[in-house]
Amino acid sequence: MQYQEYTQSENNFEECTKCTICTAYCPVMQVNPLYPGPKQAGPDGERLRLRDPNFFDEALKYCLNCKRCEVVCPSEVRVADIIQSARIKYESNPPKVRDYLLSHTDTMGKLARPFAPVVNFATRQPLTKATMDFTLGIDKHRTFPSYSPHGFEGWLKRRRKEQAAFPEQVAYYHGCYVNYNYPKLGKDLVKVLNAMGIGVQLLEDEKCCGIALISNQFIKAATKNAQFNVEQLSKAVEKGLKVITTSSTCTLTMQEEYPNLLGVDNSAVRDSLLMATRFIYEKLEQGATLPFRPDFHKRVAYHTPCHMQRLGWGVFSQRLLQRIPGIEFTPLEQSCCGISGTYGFKKENYASSQAIGEPLFEQIRSVNPDVVACDCETCKWQIEMSTGYKVENPISILAEAISDKE
């Protein structure tokens, strides 16, 4: 037969053989009976939506976009992409004020930072939380991540000359969280890379990766961010620089969601984006060394964030942590923490969110580590809030394990 050597459809939904393994692994399916599950919401639903767009099911909003369905799919169907694309195409409910506040992380960061102490104080007050719960639908159990009065960008700009002196250079896409909330992670990365003889540059400019905009249906804004970021990343890549990241979700968004959901071509930069743990692990494998402290001791449990799992790079973070002398390492079983970015902040999702995360929290309690390592900031908030255990990015643990100055 000379025709039909392969079949292929937009978002490859026809490759599904209905084996249903995605539904078995979907964390939402375990806790929310209103969600039809990835197979029905994804490939099955797609056929029906092509028949009639009115067959779109509003319950698709319960999808976490954790992408575990894609990880387990033996037919490589991009199930979560099909679901998210359908939401983009057919969802009719306009986003709420709350969704705007939660998703515009760049704008909120810029507004809040000058008043960081006041904002941080205010968002921690039970009265504020109750008010936001009541008026906006942001669950009262949640605490907003604190804003840092001094941004990471400014800190690194002041060290531009010093960084430029290193023989090898990388660019760093820090994302909103490092810049507005937690510059320490960025500083830790600089410390580790500097110790390996590598200098860190900022991109000429960057915007939020846009994942929160996508999941809250601000598609135009997300697309604009995507185009902007790809342009900025290209400039660095043209200079022959690798671009390092410390957030698994930002990375997955720029690598996969840009072309698959937003239709933004990232082919020129896609392969130059690397999670820092992978970059450092590979350097160490090639013979680079780090000045590890002899007196370091820590019991670390590692949680693989869903998007790290989808990237397939969890193994690099694990191996890297295991290389640190003095680490007692326990890998946690694959399981979603339930927050999924802004999803868990919404009042209507709070109960599901906690129910999804419970098996993971239980594991952490039974392992009882000194610290939980994890590459994702929203997993960090969720685990810290739900278990009381401290959560750090593997890069921060690495930074702590090496001597301050040689």
Partner 1 sequence: MKSNEFDVIIIGGGITGAGTQRDCAMRGLRTLLVDRSDIATGATGRNHGLLHSGARYAVSDPESAQECIRENMILRRVAAHCIDESDGLFVTLPEDDLDYQKTFVQACRNAGIRADIIDPDLARRLEPSVNPDIIGAVRVPDCSVDPFRLCAANMLDAKLHGGQVRLHTEVTGILREGNTVKGIRTHNRNTGEDQEFYAPIVVNAGGVWGQELAQMAGIKVGMFPAKGSLLIFAHRVNNMVINRCRKPSNADILVPGDTVCIVGTTSSRIPLEECRNVAVTPDEVTLLITEGMKLAPRLASTRILRAYAGVRPLVSADDDPSGRNISRGIVCLDHETRDGVKGLITITGGKLTSYRLMAEMATDLVCKKLGVDKACETAVLPLPGSEEGSYEEVAKKIWENPTTAQKVAAARMGSRVSRIRSTDRRDEALICECEQVTMGEINAAIDRLEASTLTDLRRRTRVGMGTCQGEFCACRAAGLLAKAHGCIEKERADIDYFLQERWKGNFPIGWGDTLREAEYTQWVYKHVLGI
Phi then psi dihedrals of residue 331, to 5 deg:
-80, 135
2 Cβ contact list (under 8 Å, min separation 6):
none
Tell me the CA end-to-end span of the chain in Å, nearest whole number: 68
CB of 41 to partner 1, least distance (A): 9
Residue type, 298: K
| Angle, CA 211 vertex, CA 81 and CA 111 arms, to 5° | 165
Query: Which CB sits closer to partner 1, 1 or 127?
Result: 1
Query: Which CB sits closer to partner 1, 44 or 400?
Result: 44
CB of 290 to partner 1, least distance (A): 47
The helix (H) or strand (E) run that includes residue 360 is helix 350-367
CB of 361 to partner 1, least distance (A): 31
Query: Which CB sits closer to partner 1, 35 or 218?
Result: 35
CB of 39 to partner 1, least distance (A): 7
65 in the Ramachandran plot: left (φ > 0), alpha (ψ -120 to 50) or beta? left
Within 10 angstroms of residue 79's Cβ, the number of other Cβ atoms is 31
Query: Which CB sits closer to partner 1, 51 or 405?
Result: 51
Please report, as ranges, the residues that interact with partner 1 according to CB under 8 A. Answer: 1-9, 13-20, 36, 39-40, 44-48, 50-52, 54-59, 75
CB of 87 to partner 1, least distance (A): 14
Query: Which CB sits closer to partner 1, 45 or 331?
Result: 45
| Burial zone of 126 (CB within 10 Å; 0-12 exposed, 13-18 middle, 19+ buried) | exposed
CB of 92 to partner 1, least distance (A): 13
DSSP-based three-state secondary structure for 349: helix
Alpha-carbon distance of 240 to 39, in angstroms, equals 41
Nearest CA among 246, 406, 401 for reference residue 321: 401
Query: Which CB sits closer to partner 1, 52 or 406?
Result: 52
